[in-house]
Structure 1
Amino acid sequence: MQQLQARYGKRYKWWVMLTVMTGTMTMSLSSTIVNVALPDVMETFPVSHTMVQWMVTAFLASMAIGMLLNVWMVDRFGPRVTYMGALLVFMAAALAGGLAVNFSMLIFVRVVQGLIAGMVQPLAMLMLYAVFPANQRGQAMGLYAMGVVLGPTAGPVAGGVLVDWWSWRAVFLVVLPFCLAAFYLGRTFLSRPDSAPPVHRRLDIPGLLLLGGWMLALLWGLSEGPLSGWNSSAVIAALIAALVLFLIFTRHQLRSLAPLLALRIFSYKGFTAAFTVAMLTGAGLYGSVYLLPMLVQTAMGESASAAGMLLMPAGLAMALSFPVIGQLTDRILPKILVTGGLVLFALSSIVLSEASADTSLMLIALMAALGRVGLAMTMPPVVIGAMSIVPQDMINQATGLISFARQFGGSLGVMLSAILLQENTLWTTSLGILPGFPGYQDAFALLALLYLIGLYPMARMKSPGQTAT
């Protein structure tokens, strides 16, 4: 890294930011671009709400696992090789998604894409943390977050146009040029491994299997509940299996010499609170990104392009807020920003929970933008706060865990939203009427409740400068 810093001088840290932002934007683009294509996918491969949501949930859940794999990958292969290899695999998966012949293949592609995106996101934060001085890290995280959000912001807009003009398959293929650009930047600006040998850290394969097992059992049980009935033996068995596997996973991690998830990090005062707030933030972010296009397309009868355009002001508002929030994070207590963000998002969700056929698209767009500003107020402060709690040698684990919390929370937010939509669909179908707004109203009310609940752990979140225990 010293050679590259000598070559590019003070500009080097900004070249690194551009490099990691390009790769992460590409993968975050994939996290939302499929949302506006879900109704078309439901027609191509006849599936229900709780089935089609797996295209989102599978991505988010596997992304959460990939974030924990990041620690082992970086130790074993180094940041540069991990980043470059991840881009190659992601490109192959995108091509396979565009050529998918059945719904199962789409789910497999989304699992692979999620794993890769999960490995890259905390890796990007780690690289920025290394090249920016301490007094600029809040600003760096804010700018990086702004760039990352531009991907999900452009995703629904580009996806809507591509779906209307061509096919849902285009939402997979469109990321390929951006992956190639990210690969070139990585070769140019990411430092090569030094002469030190890689760290041969053992991968916790049993922990990985247990983690994937309890997450899959939980999410499958929740998705199957509306279809098979919550009292069915299969659903009850899945939820019990999720609990048992989770307990076994926790015990294994506490006893393992090389755990996948360093649970001892939760012993630092305030980290549990930061983890909880990050999880609730993810539930609100991805839950609302899933709900809004479906609301506009299915309940209000608008096109995919209209649904995508509706989300653009919200994404821009969030992206433009991040640099300001990043600078404020370096100056004022994170708790103040997080409190304001939680309240703003809850208020926007409450308004959206009253959506009906008479609600204007302008009001929906405005409330979506207000909610995104609230989300922007929570994300950089939580990351910086969590990283300030732990020792220097645990920063990588801290970033991975906070990112894991956000993605796992996102998968739960999407799943719970899909359950409410599916329950409403089944209820209205049984009455012989068309599905309408009640499911969406209930889902937005749930998101508002989650953010109000988040005020409690936020009050216990440690601020930078406090003494860790």
Structure 2
Amino acid sequence: MPLTLEELRSRHGERYKWLVLITVLIGTTASIMSSTIVNVAIPDLSRHFALGQERVQWVATSFMLAMTLSMLLTPWMLQRFGLRHTYIGTILLLLVGGVVGAMSVNYAMLLSMRVLEGLASGILQPIPAIIIMRSFDAREQGKAMGIFGFGVVLAPAIAPAVGGILVEHFGWRSIFLVVVPFCLIVLALSRRYLAQNAPMMGSNKPLDWRGLLLMGVATVSLLNGLVALHSAALQGSALLLLGVVCLIGFVAYQRRAVEPLLSMKLFAYRQFASGALVAFIYGMSLFGSTYLLPVYMQSARHYAPSTAGLILLPAGIVLALVIPLGGRLADRIPANLLVSGGLALMALSFVLMALGTPTTHYLAIMAWVVIGRIGLGLVVPALSLGALRGIESDLIAQGASAMNFLRQLGGAIGVSVAGVVLQWRLAAHQASPDSQIRAFDETFIFVAAACIVAMVAAWGMKPRAIK
């Protein structure tokens, strides 16, 4: 029988909030690993299922699409089912998706399990940030957000290295099983540290299913439209138009809904509105590049999967050192300065990748990736705190979910756009002897340009003094 919140606080004292944060963080880290670990297997999956680049990228995009939409459900689920049931239920979904995904016999089964994993992962993502803003005082929030950011951004760095080794030695099916030990550990910790179930954020409210439907149609239409635009311009344009119309309809409906899925009041806060725009663009850059790098190392530079995956490992280690520092700096330095500086380093990293030549050494590429991950370590804690500080306490849960939602929406679009731009540039340079290198270079420039646009948006985040 699980203990009550009061009993657990009495037993563990001041450190209890840290134990809960670590428990939910491990599950969040596992879910992000399941998102990015598949990228290193894209060439193998393309060959196994006989798919082109524009179709095989849906292995990554379908996960991110499901993840993006389900993030909006987190506040409602915590209200309705409480932290314990919500968290344990989504971990079980992630576990099922990993085990059944490893046994996929066709592409449709594979995609369905990626969608299931994505649904679970999306609900998990905002939970640590909600706990931080509700359980930690202002002087501890930066430190706690640094720990949260550690898992959020370390997982995408390490996952391709682990995935590359697994794909090379055990085949693509093995990458689905990586989440299994994480899920089992988290289930054990949840039984020990999560209080007996109670709604986490007040009275139950009805689910805004109309808003969820509008956003779902908008997101699916936009992503499919981007993919179709290159091969079927008329169909792609129609889907994009439908997506834009549904997106406008979603915003209009949320403004007058009694219990909105996403409160438009959040965007009345200048720092949140600017942070939300930064989150969207930086999500495009981060996940687009995380998708591109393993494919680039294998397809353009002809490295083995394990070697291609290892390109991100030193960057992950550096990131592990930088992000706690980024969390502490976020308590002292204005968010717009830290975020802009971090984005500048990310843009520099992509520009250096684009300026590389076919003879560029492996270690040089590795160093360029490290530069970008240093920037990432500065962005994540400052962005979350800068956007959420100062908003009303009853909007924090929706604000945290919205930030994660917009980052992941940007990521889903970024992966899709990266695949489309790459395919477009490959077709444009197909007569050139170094066509793949040139196509990837131009795609990296596109990602760098997105970071620069995000830098401009970051200056709209009004600094707030910490009491």
Q: TM-score range by the shorter chain?
A: over 0.9
Change (3 A) 1:196 1:138: closer
- The Cα shift of 1:428 comes to 4.4
1:205 corresponding residue in structure 2 = 209
Alpha-carbon displacement from aligned partner over 1:124-175 (angstroms, at most 9, x marks no partner): 2212333323210110010121133332233111111110011101111121
Give yes or no for contact 1:16–1:128 (8 Å, CA) kept in 2: no
Paired with 1:138 and 1:425, the residues of 2 have a C-alpha distance of 43
User: Do residues 94 (structure 1) and 98 (structure 2) align?
Assistant: yes
- Please state if 1:347 is matched with 2:351: no
Structure 2 Cα separation of the partners of residues 79 and 340 of structure 1:
36
Stretches of structure 2 that go unaligned for 5 or more consecutive residues are: none
Q: CA offset at residue 261 of structure 1?
A: 1.3
**Distance in 2 between residues matched to 1:170 and 1:58, nearest whole Å:** 19
Q: 4+ residue runs of structure 1 moved beyond 4 angstroms? A: 194-198, 432-435
| In the alignment, structure 1 residue 179 sits paired with structure 2 residue 183 | yes
The aligned residue for residue 374 of structure 1 is 375
Q: CA shift at 1:435, angstroms?
A: 4.4
The letter for the 2-side match of 1:111 is: V
In structure 2, distance between residues paired with 1:414 and 1:197: 34
Change (3 A) 1:374 1:101: same
8 Å contact kept, 1:222–1:415: yes
Question: Does the residue aligned with 1:464 lie in a helix, a strand or coil?
Answer: coil
Deviations 1:436-458, CA, capped at 9 Å, x for gaps: 11221111101111111122211
**CA contact under 8 A between 1:164 and 1:305: conserved in structure 2?**
yes
Deviation at 1:197, TM superposition (A): 11
Structure 2 residue 163 is the aligned partner of structure 1 residue 159: yes
What is the identity, as a one-letter code, of the residue corresponding to 1:402?
M
1:338 is aligned to: 339
Letter paired with 2:145 = M
1:339-361: per-residue Cα shift (whole Å, max 9, x none)?
A: 21111111111111123311111
Checking the alignment, whether the CA contact within 8 Å between 1:26 and 1:175 is kept in structure 2 is yes
Note closer, same or farther for the CA distance 1:298–1:395 as it changes in structure 2 (3 Å cut).
same
1:267 counterpart = 2:291 = no
Cα deviation for residue 434 of structure 1 reads 7.4
- Counterpart of 1:361 in structure 2 is 362
Which deviates further from its counterpart, 162-171 or 246-255? 246-255
Superposition map of 1:216-365 within 5 A: 216-228=220-232, 232-365=233-366
Residue in 1 aligned with 2:451?
Answer: 451
CA displacement at 1:104 relative to structure 2:
1.9
Q: Which residue of 1 aligns with 2:384?
A: 383
Alpha-carbon distance in 1 for matches of 2:199, 2:342: 45
Conserved 8 A contact 1:345-1:371: yes
Note closer, same or farther for the CA distance 1:385–1:198 as it changes in structure 2 (3 Å cut): closer
Q: CA deviation at 1:225?
A: 1.9
Tell me the percent identity.
36
Q: Provide TM-score, normalisation by structure 1.
A: 0.95
- Displacement of 1:198 after TM fit? 7.1
Q: Secondary structure at the match of 1:223?
A: helix
Q: 1:216-255 CA deviation, whole Å, 9 max, x = no partner?
A: 1111011112223xxx321121111111111222211112
| Counterpart for residue 441 of structure 1 | 441
Q: Distance in 1 between matches of 2:59 and 2:199?
A: 42
State the alpha-carbon separation in 1 of the partners of residues 131 and 367 from structure 2. Answer: 35
Equivalent residue of 2:425, what SS?
helix
**1:123 counterpart residue number:** 127
Q: Give the counterpart of 1:190 among 190, 194, 211.
A: 194
The answer to whether the 8 Å contact 1:145/1:319 transfers is: no
The 3 A distance-change label for structure 1 pair 202 and 454 is same
Q: Is the 8 A contact 2:129 2:400 kept in 1?
A: yes
SS at match of 2:311: helix
Supply the distance in 2 between the matched residues of 1:120 and 1:312 (Cα, whole angstroms).
25
RMSD after superposition: 1.9
Task: Report the more deviating stretch, 457-466 or 367-376.
Answer: 457-466
1:326: Cα distance to partner?
Answer: 0.4
8 Å contact from structure 2 (residues 271, 460) kept in 1: yes
Q: Name the structure 2 match of 1:114.
A: 118
Deviates more, 1:119-128 or 1:23-32: 119-128
Unaligned runs of 5+ in 1: none
Q: Which of 105, 108, 115 is the equivalent residue of 1:104?
A: 108
The alignment partner of 1:407 has SS state of helix
The total of aligned residue pairs comes to 463
C-alpha distance 199-288 of structure 1, shift in aligned 2 (>3 A): same
Task: Give the aligned residue type for 1:314.
Answer: A
Kindly tell me: are residues 296 and 197 of structure 1, through their superposed partners in 2, closer, same or farther at Cα, counting changes over 3 Å? closer
